[in-house]
Structure 1
Amino acid sequence: MAKDEINDKPFDLDVILKQLGPFGKYNIVNYALLLFPIYLAGMYSSIYVFEASDIDYRCEITQCEVINESLWLEYAIPRDKNDLSKCKRYQFTGNYSQSNVTCTQKDFEVVVEQCDKYVYSDEDSAVKDFDLGCQNWKRTLIGTIHNSGLFVSLPLTGMLSDRFGRKVALPIASLMNGIFGITRSFSTNYYMMIAMEFLEASLGAGAYSTAFVLAMEIVGPKGRVFGNTLINVLYVFGSMTLAGLAWWLQNWRKLLRILYFPALLVFSYLWILNESARWLLSKGRHEEAVEILKKASNMNKVHISDDSLSSLFKLGTEDPKSKEVANNEGKTESSFLQALKSSIIRKRVAVCSFLWITCTFVYYGLSINSVSLAGNKYMNFMLVAFVEIPANFVCLYVLEKFGRKRTLTSTYLLSACFCVSLSLIRKDQKWLSLVIYLSGKFSITVAYSSVYIYVSEVFPTNVRQSLLAVCSALGRVGSTLAPLTPLLALYYDNLPAIFFASITVVASALVFTLPETINVPLPDTIEEAERQSKKEDNA
């Protein structure tokens, strides 16, 4: 763009951000601050996997426990898949007395009954602390309760951020993380634990989205792709750190206290973090925005002309423009309703929501079920998380090379194929099953990253944010149901993988109903969005 064109163009903050450069000293310092809560969010998002991990336990046979040798276990407990059953026992019919303890085969009838007490292994878990033996629904419900808190945290933190600022919303959300996360480590019963789980997620999970938005707002367009990649990588490192610390500590209460204490430190951002200049301008606080931009130019050693900075004030002093903004705000609701009157837009909302649900369901489901793979559960979790790093880089390449539709269709189908393959592999082929499992996670990660971009390209500008929020909110249904998928393995070991494969095949087919958007200008109106589909039909 020529210099004269910039000067003649109405004020655009991106012009000044472009002058500041994509990643100068100011951006680096602020990104370093913002990447810290994002790193923490990577740990908090899946911490329930290690809080209430499934451990070994068996029925307590009161009459026989005082006997040191365990040969009597074969007579007392039936076999389930070649292992001693966790939840069933044979009925004891012997004559029991403390002075003459005998536990032989003749003391048990071949009558199976449910256990009422359990003997737990030395492994640490909330399952042991709260006596959750054979109540797998209670164990998996912890993760579901955590993810259901996202339905509250996203709109709540969004409203707080839009009204009071990003640098206010982020520290408060992080403070809630720290308070309720540490309090949860002192839980005295199961119900206190799930209550703290919900409060921590519903009041604190928005720290990630706030940090993400602020990170995107402090750089220009060219810096956002690189910034987004940094955020994804730090989030993955957080997940890997979680598994490493859980492996080292082997104590879920200590794990919570160590991981959540740093969240309290983020509260200091109220005084040390710079507010988003874009948000300040949207609120008419032009002088504060100018001071921040001047600070950024000094740190980056870049000169910003006074004319560029003075144009910021013109935006707020011109009454017609202020009225125009007010009018636009008044039209938001009507534009949203008008968009939903279009059958094409409604169909896209439904399809995109299903694509989002599929991604979150399979993405989190594979992460959660990774601890059930043969081998070291902590190492498996770290590997499943690490594979997301190359997946995000591959996503950037294939989207531009092959387009959105082919990328999504292929990655959904690949994920389905890898998941089905897991059911065809013998249990003794541990490495092969791990490689295929990682390949499935790789594929769904590429699809997940692609959906974020694709969904934003098929809706018109005036309702893009609103419809994107609808799809994202509905997508949380997948992450809320994902923690329950280990229950499917109780009926058949590979049932979760088969379930993942089925839903991804459906998603792959639905992609064909959407238009291709590579190298296509973003639609600004409902009519332009509808023409995307018409061009696709005529092609």
Structure 2
Amino acid sequence: MSKETPLVGLDAILKQLGPFGRYNVLNYMMLLFPCFLAGMYGSVFVFEASDINYRCEISECESSQDSTWLEHAIPMEKDSPAKCTRYAFLDDISANSSCPANIFNRNRTEKCSSYVYSDEDSAVKDFDLGCQNWKRTLIGTIHNSGLFLSLPLTGIISDRFGRKRALAIASLMNCTFGFLRSFSTTYIMMVIFEFLEAGFGAGAYTTAFVLAMELVGPKGRVFGNTLINVVFVFGLMTLSGLSWILQSWRTLLRIIYPPALLVFSYLWILNESVRWLLSKGRNDEAIEILKKAAKMNKVQLSEQDFTPLYEMETTKEKKEKDDDEEKKVEPSLFIQVLRSSIIRKRLVVCSYLWITCTFVYYGLSINSVSLAGNKYVNFMLVAFVEIPANFVCLCVLDRFGRKRVMIIMYILSACLCIGLSFLPKNQMWLSLIIYLSGKFSITVAYSSVYIYVSEVFPTKVRQSLLAICSSTGRIGSTLAPLTPLLALYYDNLPAIFFGTLAVIAGMLVFTLPETINVQLPDTIEEAERLSRARSEKNLA
């Protein structure tokens, strides 16, 4: 009971303030800006180290005015000169002004030692990464691996020192390491700054998200969450548009990262989360902010409305005392989970679902630049399709249930991805439509999994187990940048791989219980009862 009183009091005040008052709108708009920037920062590596055209350098023939020697010096692959191999010379020769066909042995090839790059801009060209695709794709993997550091680090700072401080520090790190990366002189220097920027700055998005959710009342959270997702997508589309216009990855970094300094200024102009202040016993500061919000929203609040908040200190002390007593009796979280085979299996399945979502979601975005047609337009379209997907998710989850929606979306995504390999190569538009449909379905599945995981675990361990699933899911986003390497063996191999994982995920959802219109479980026993109820229903 003590735990509920202050929260009910605060939610009652937020309800009176309204979800769309002037105070809420102004502060929410400020928080949308770092979410917009996060959309660009999270995928900028796609355009930093994009694959470009290049060929072997034949130093003995490069000075020739006639380029017809190329067809005799370099074998053809997929209707274009090979990137990594060349024909060997019949004998050692010196520079030749014409390089006739009879000096090349077309029965023997050898690996290139140097390359001639196109006029396209990329780190591949700047750092001479020709035929080292693993190095090129590793840039994205190193960037995403920084999330394993940033999420817990920013969470600790946010819970201990406040939301706006965590947001300001993360944004400063984004600006500093992102801007410095544009001056990289070596590949090693670039990947170090890539990791540092994500490792210390990627938490800006999650902190802004938490601040935004704590700003509005319960009725405004669903719309607010959708709005954040839409703004994030606009960030992705802006990134692609700027890359298309600038055609310089260094200039791109120097334009998109300095605006993060504006977010650093939130340290002085943004109000702290009222919920965080109350959790730290700083009731007076929290009440002053609520009074300021009431004044801006032109809402009259009486001192009686603040009574539960004034009493919170006593409640907090009692709660801490109760928690200490519970800790002496109850086993640790890890032991509780291990003792329940149902929760243990559920945790493994949900972690796999999360890994599949991040792997396929990011994989389709990254590989979109390899599709036929304009890579910038393709990336924009693959990003834009997330907007209707998020709105569809809101409509179908409460109508058809979490389980049914996840099964359909996983299987649909799998069929669409695998189906790409059966299309003729000249069906460019049909391939793009199917590709976009695959991204649409996995986006709905991703949003559904996020909601489902928060409903299927008991209250006492919900946040911790959700964090385990989320952290495990980062494995998928870390490996996704490496999937373009699969296309070196077969163009549609990445899509087939995505589809295979999605099929398995869809099958695993059958083992989980439905949570629509079911009260959230508070204990492990209640969570286990969800699965038992499903089994009893099937037997009946």
| TM-score range for the pair, normalised by the shorter chain length | over 0.9
Q: 1:23 aligns with which of 20, 24, 44?
A: 20
**In structure 1, what is the equivalent of residue 104 of structure 2?**
108
The residue matched to 2:454 in structure 1 has which SS? helix
CA drift at 1:301 = 1.1
Q: What is the one-letter code of the residue matched to 1:498?
A: I
For residues 53-68 of structure 1, the aligned pairs below 5 Å read 53-68=50-65
Residue 227 of structure 1 is matched in structure 2 by 224
2:168 to 167, 171, 180: 171
Which residue of structure 1 aligns with residue 66 of structure 2? Answer: 69
Deviates further, 77-86 or 34-43: 77-86
**Residues 254-293 of structure 1: per-residue CA shift (max 9 Å, x gap):** 0001010101221101000110000000000000000111
The 8 Å contact of residues 11 and 312 in structure 1, kept in 2 or not, is answered as no
Distance 1:480 1:332, change over 3 A: farther
Q: 1:160 to 1:512 in 2, by over 3 A?
A: same
Mapping for residues 308-323 of structure 1, pairs under 5 Å: 308-318=305-315, 319-323=317-321
Match of 1:372 in 2: 370
Match in the other structure for 2:129: 132
Q: CA deviation at 1:82?
A: 2.4
- 1:332, 1:462 within 8 Å by CA — same for their partners in 2? no
SS of 1:197's equivalent?
helix
Return the letter of the residue paired with 1:229.
T
1:118 aligns with 2:115: yes
1:66-105 correspondence to structure 2 within 5 Å: 66-93=63-90, 96-98=93-95, 100-105=96-101
Q: Distance in 1 between matches of 2:111 and 2:356?
A: 37
CA contact (8 A) 2:6 2:309 kept: no
SS across alignment from 1:39? helix
In 2, Cα distance between equivalents of 1:331 and 1:75: 80
CA distance in 2, matches of 1:517, 1:320: 33
The answer to whether residue 359 in structure 2 is matched with residue 334 in structure 1 is no
**1:339 shift after superposition:** 2.9
Q: CA deviation at 1:494?
A: 0.7
Residue 513 of structure 1: SS of its match in structure 2? coil
Deviates more, 1:333-342 or 1:393-402: 333-342
Give deviations 1:410-441, integer Å, cap 9, x for gaps.
00010011101110111111100000000000
1:218 matched residue in structure 2:
215
1:12-411 to 2 correspondence within 5 Å?
12-93=9-90, 96-98=93-95, 100-110=96-106, 111-318=108-315, 319-324=317-322, 327=325, 334-411=332-409
User: Counterpart of 1:60 in structure 2: which amino acid?
Assistant: E
Deviation of 1:336 after TM superposition, in Å, equals 4.6
The Cα shift of 1:8 comes to 8.9
Kept after mapping to 2: 8 A contact 1:41/1:207: yes
Q: Secondary structure at the match of 1:28?
A: helix
Q: Secondary structure at the match of 2:27?
A: helix
Give the superposition deviation at 1:328.
6.1
2:414 corresponding residue in structure 1: 416
Rounded Cα–Cα distance in structure 2 between residues aligned with 1:9 and 1:44: 38
Change (3 A) 1:147 1:330: farther
Find the counterpart in structure 2 of residue 455 from structure 1: 453
- Relative to structure 1, is the Cα distance of residues 65 and 94 closer, same or farther in structure 2, using a 3 angstrom cutoff? farther
- Report the Cα distance in structure 1 between the residues aligned to 2:328 and 2:357, rounded to whole angstroms: 34
| 3-state SS of paired residue (2:259) | helix
> Aligned-pair distance for 1:526?
0.5
- Deviation of the 1:472 alpha carbon: 0.2
**Partner residue, 2:463:** 465
Call closer, same or farther: CA 1:442–1:333 in 2, change over 3 Å: farther
Could you tell which deviates more after superposition, 459-468 or 75-84? Answer: 75-84
TM-score where L is the length of structure 2 = 0.96
What SS does structure 2 have at the residue aligned with 1:16?
Answer: helix
Distance 2:245 2:358 in 1: 29
Q: Could you tell me how far 1:81 is from its partner in structure 2?
A: 2.2
**Change in CA separation of 1:141 and 1:8 when aligned onto 2, cut-off 3 Å:** closer
SS of structure 2 residue aligned to 1:71? helix
Distance 2:422 2:468 in 1: 38
What SS is found at the alignment partner of 2:473? Answer: helix
Report the Cα distance in structure 2 between the residues aligned to 1:94 and 1:103, rounded to whole angstroms.
13
Distance of 1:444 and 1:427 partners within structure 2 = 24
Letter in 1 for 2:102: K
Give the TM-score normalised by structure 1: 0.96
Q: Aligned with 1:431: secondary structure?
A: helix
How many residues get paired? 532
Aligned pairs (5 A) from 1:488-503: 488-503=486-501
AA matched with 1:258 = I
Runs of at least 5 residues in structure 2 that lack an aligned partner in the other structure: none
C-alpha separation in 2, matches of 1:420 and 1:120: 33
Question: How far apart are residue 95 of structure 1 and its match?
Answer: 6.0
CA positional deviation for 1:519:
0.4
Measured against aligned partners, the alpha-carbon deviations of 1:153-191 in whole angstroms (never above 9, x if no partner) come to: 000000000000001000100000000000000000000
2:69, 2:98 within 8 Å by CA — same for their partners in 1?
no
| SS in structure 1 at match of 2:311 | helix
* CA displacement at 1:492 relative to structure 2: 0.6
Change (3 A) 1:25 1:169: same
Please give the alpha-carbon distance, in whole angstroms, between the structure 2 residues aligned to 1:269 and 1:326: 36
Cα separation, 2, equivalents of 1:72 and 1:513: 62
Q: Secondary structure at 2:64's aligned position in 1?
A: coil
Bigger mean CA deviation after superposition, 303-312 or 324-333: 324-333
Structure 2 match to 1:4: none
The separation in 2 between residues aligned to 1:89 and 1:107, in whole angstroms, is: 13
Distance (whole Å) between structure 2 residues aligned to residue 332 and residue 122 of structure 1: 65
What are the Cα deviations for residues 288-338 of structure 1, in whole angstroms up to 9, with x where unaligned? 000111111111111222112132121103543442355567889724531
How far apart, in 2, do the equivalents of 1:327 and 1:308 lie?
A: 32
2:514 is equivalent to residue 523 of structure 1: no
Residues 179 and 264 of structure 1 are in contact (CA less than 8 Å); yes or no, is this contact kept in structure 2? no
Determine the C-alpha separation between the residues in 1 that align with 2:356 and 2:59: 47
2:535 maps to which residue?
537
CA contact (8 A) 1:332 1:463 kept: no
Q: Which runs of 5+ in 1 are unaligned?
A: 1-6
Task: Answer yes or no: is the 8 Å Cα contact 1:315–1:321 preserved in 2.
Answer: no
Cα distance in 1 between the residues matched to 2:511 and 2:328: 33
- CA positional deviation for 1:537: 0.5
Distance, in Å, in 2 between the alignment partners of 1:8 and 1:179 is: 43
Q: CA deviation at 1:9?
A: 8.9
Task: Rate the CA distance shift 1:329–1:295 in 2: closer, same or farther, 3 A.
Answer: farther
